[in-house]
Amino acid sequence: MRNRFLSLLTVFLFVFLAQESKAQYRNALGLGIDLGDGRTLVGPQLKHFFNSKDAANVQVLFADNHVLLGADYSYNQAISGARGLNWYIGVGPQLSFIDRGPFGNKTYFAIRPALGLEYKVPSAPLAFHFDWKPWWTLTDESDFEPSRFSIGFKYTFN
């Protein structure tokens, strides 16, 4: 009886995981790393697909005395002949809160376009991304920082 139960459990888990590991996913939760010229920020991110091409990504990233809140829209497209590999382009607003100690606090509003690649591992519920994500600050002293990139590791689920 116990062997039968373990066999059924194994089959159930195999079928469940195989369905969860399909090439396209609806939601993903993971770790985002924003790096380049300046500070490196790290924190959680959530990606949600509205359909097969349109997605939203929200993130909260942290560095020393710095918190970034961001939301992006992205258009995603599969790369023909490269199973699990997509390119995407998007844009979204970012708010940065910086504690400058005795010099006061600053809040910055920025627009962040993104152009990148995402690889969804076909046999596992994992996805990885790399993108070029310049920083265009629109408040205070307006600034454009082209040397910013983002990498991320995500667990995918429906």
Q: How many C-beta neighbours within 10 Å does residue 31 have? A: 15
Which CATH code for domain 2-157? 2.40.160.20
For residue 89, which of 114, 110, 112 has the smallest C-alpha distance?
114
pLDDT digits over 17-64, tens only?
Answer: 444 444 489 999 999 999 998 889 999 999 999 999 999 999 999 999
Name the residue ranges covered by the structural domains of the chain.
Answer: 2-157
Q: Which helix (H) or strand (E) holds 117?
A: strand 105-120
pLDDT digits over 110-158, tens only?
Answer: 999 999 999 999 999 999 999 999 999 999 778 899 999 999 999 999 8
**What pLDDT score was predicted for residue 4?**
56
Amino acid, single-letter form, for residue 46 = L
* pTM flag (> 0.95): no
